[in-house]
A and B are shown apart, each in its own frame.
Chain A
Amino acid sequence: MINSLRSGLSRRAMLKSASCGFGYLALAGRVSDAARQQARAASATPGASLGYTSPLILKATHFPARAKRIIFLFMQGGPSHLDTFDYKPRLVRDHGSSSSGGGGKAGGKLLASPFKFKKAGQSGIEISEVFPHLSKHADELCLINSMHTSSPAHPQATIEMHTGTSLFVRPSVGAWSLYGLGTVNQNLPGFITINPPERLGGPQNYGSAFLPASFQGTRITPSRGVKGDERDLLSQIIKPAAPLAAQRKQLDLIQQMNQQLLDDAKVNAELEGVVESYELAFRMQDAVPQVLDLADESAATKEMYGLNNGATSNFGTQCLMARRLAEQGVRYIEVCHQGWDQHNSLKERLTANCTAIDRPIAALLTDLKQRGMLDDTLVVWSGEFGRTPQGQGDNGRNHNAAGFTSWLAGAGTKGGLRYGETDEHGGKAAVNKVHTHDLHATMLHYMGLDHEKLTYNYGGRNFRLTEVHGHVVRDVMA
C-alpha cells in the first residue's frame, strides 16, 4: 500500500509548498472540519486533487434531508406484530379455527392475542396494552403494518435487515449512510451500535464490507457495564495507557516516524490516513468516555428512562446513550434488544420484553422532542420478521417473513398512521406492501440520499444498498 501512489497534487504537497507541511498541521490539531469542508467544496471531484481526504468529512446530500441522523431500535428475534402493533379483530373472532393463510403451517389453528388493543392518541390507532407508555406517543408513530422480508430464519433475516441481503457480505445500512453523508463530529465514530447480537451475522450487521473501513460501526456493550467488559474492545482501548502528556510525547515520536516515511514516499494518501487516524484516536480518548458517562444527566431524566427500575434500566441506559450520541453528531446509532423469539410462553415473555422497552423508548421520544431533535432524527423500530397468526401450541407463535410491523417516528414522519395492511388474520402483507429493501430506500431518502444513486464501485461494477430493488415509501412522510 505504501507504494500505491496517487497522481496529482496531494494535500501534503500543497501544504508543503505553503511552508508548514501536513505533519505539522496534523500534530498541531489544526486540520479543522471547516477547513476540510472548504477544501472539499473547492474541488469539483471531492478529494481527487488533494490526495488523502478523510472519508468521514461531511458530504452533500442528493436532495434536502429530512433526518440528520437515524436511531434504529432493533428487536432481535422476530417480535410478534399480532400482539403489539397490528390489531386484527378477525384474529380474535376466528380464534381456534383452522387457517392456511399466513406464514404458518397450513391447517394451524389461529391464536388470538392474549393482549387487548386500545385506541391511542388523537388518531386513535390501536396499540397493544403491553405498551402503556409508548401508546402516549401514538400520534408520532407511523406503524408500517405491511412489512415483509425474504427469509423466515433468524440469521438470514437479521443480516438482510441490516445489509439488504444475506446472500453475500454487504455493507450495513449505517455504513452506507456514513459513506453517503460523512459525519459532523470528527472526534467520535459516525456509526455506533449498542449491544448488537454476537451471532446472526455478528459484525457483518455493522460492517462496511467493501466500503472503506472508516465507515464500519463501532460496537459498545453497556449492558455488561461500560467499563470492564473484556469482550468490549472499545472500553479497553479508549482509556489512555499512559498519562496524556507522556502519551503525547510517544505519539509525536510515532508521527515523526510516519512523517519520515511520508517524506520518502513523497505522495501517499493511505499514509496520511495513518497520520490522521492517530490524531483522531488521541481525541477520541477524551470524547467517547465523556459522551457515554451518564453522570451529568438529571435525576428526572434517569427516572424517565427507567434507570431506577431493574426491568427497564438496561434498555433505558442504552436509549439514553443513544440520545447523547445523537446530540453529539453521531450519524447512525443502533440500539438492540434481544430475545423476541416467542415460540412459547408468548404472553409472559412478550410482556417482559415490552415492559423492558416501553418506558425507555417513550422516554427517548419525549427527550428528543423536548430538545427539538425529533424534527431531524428518524427513529426506526423493527425486528427481522414477525410471527404467525397460527399458534404454536396455545401460547406461542412461529416465524413469519410474509408479514410484520416496523414503525417510524420523527423527521417529518406522518404520525398516528397505520400504513399498509396485512390480510384479515395478519399473516401476510397484503396492501401497500413494504419490503426490507423499501424500508432501506426510505431510510436513505430521509437522510437526503437517493438509494439508486448511492453507489460504490467494487470488483468491476457499481453496488447499492438496495441492489436492483427498493421503492421509497413517500406516503409515510408528511
Chain B
Amino acid sequence: MVTGERDVTTVATQALYMLNSAFVIDQSKRFATRLLAIKSIDDATRVDLAYRQTVGRFATSQERERALAFISDYNKSDPAAGWHALCQATFASAEFRYLN
C-alpha cells in the first residue's frame, strides 16, 4: 500500500472551526470556568496553569503579561469573557494544534 507524507494541510475551514464552532467554544468556556474556579491562585499563576494544561510548559514572562493585558482589554466589564477568549486562542494556536 502506498503511503506518503502529506504536504501543507492547513485549510481555512479548520481555522473557522477553531474560531466559531460550538464545540471549541464550549470547551474553551469549560476550561476558563475551571481556571477561574481555583480561588487560591492569582491571575498570573492562572495563565501559567493554562499554558501548562494546553501546551505543556510554563508561560514566559512576556506571554504572561500579554495574556493579562488581553484579558483586561478584551471585555472591560466581564473578565470571564476575556478568560474564555484567551482559552480559545490557546486552543487555536499552532503550538496547541500541532505536534512538534
A interface, CB within 8 angstroms of B: 1-3, 52, 55, 189, 210-214, 216, 218, 233-234, 236-242, 246-247, 249-251, 253-254, 256-258, 260-261, 269-271, 273-278, 280-282, 284-285, 458-460
Contacts and interface: CB of A to CB of B under 8 A. Distances in A.
B1 to A, nearest CB: 9
Interface string B9-20: 111111111011
Q: Which 6 A-B pairs have the closest CB atoms?
A: A459-B2, A281-B15, A273-B10, A280-B12, A257-B93, A237-B16
Contact of A253 (B4, B9, B21, B70): B70
| SS of A interface (majority) | helix
B38 interface: no
B34 interface: no
Chain B interface residue bracket vs A: 35 or more
A412 B94 CA distance: 46
A257 B97 contact: no
A253 B86 contact: yes
Contacts of A460: 2, 4
A212 to B, nearest CB: 4
B99 A281 contact: no
Nearest to B97: A274
A330 B95 CA distance: 32
Q: Which residue of B3, B90, B94 has the most chain A CB atoms within 10 A of its CB atom?
A: B94
A458 B1 CA distance: 12
A251 to B, nearest CB: 7
A237 B13 contact: yes
Contacts of B27: none
B35 interface: no
B73 interface: yes
Given A210-B6, A246-B85, A250-B74, A236 B12 contact: no
B9 A237 contact: no
B8 A212 contact: yes
B19 A241 contact: yes
B85 to A, nearest CB: 5
A275 B70 CA distance: 19
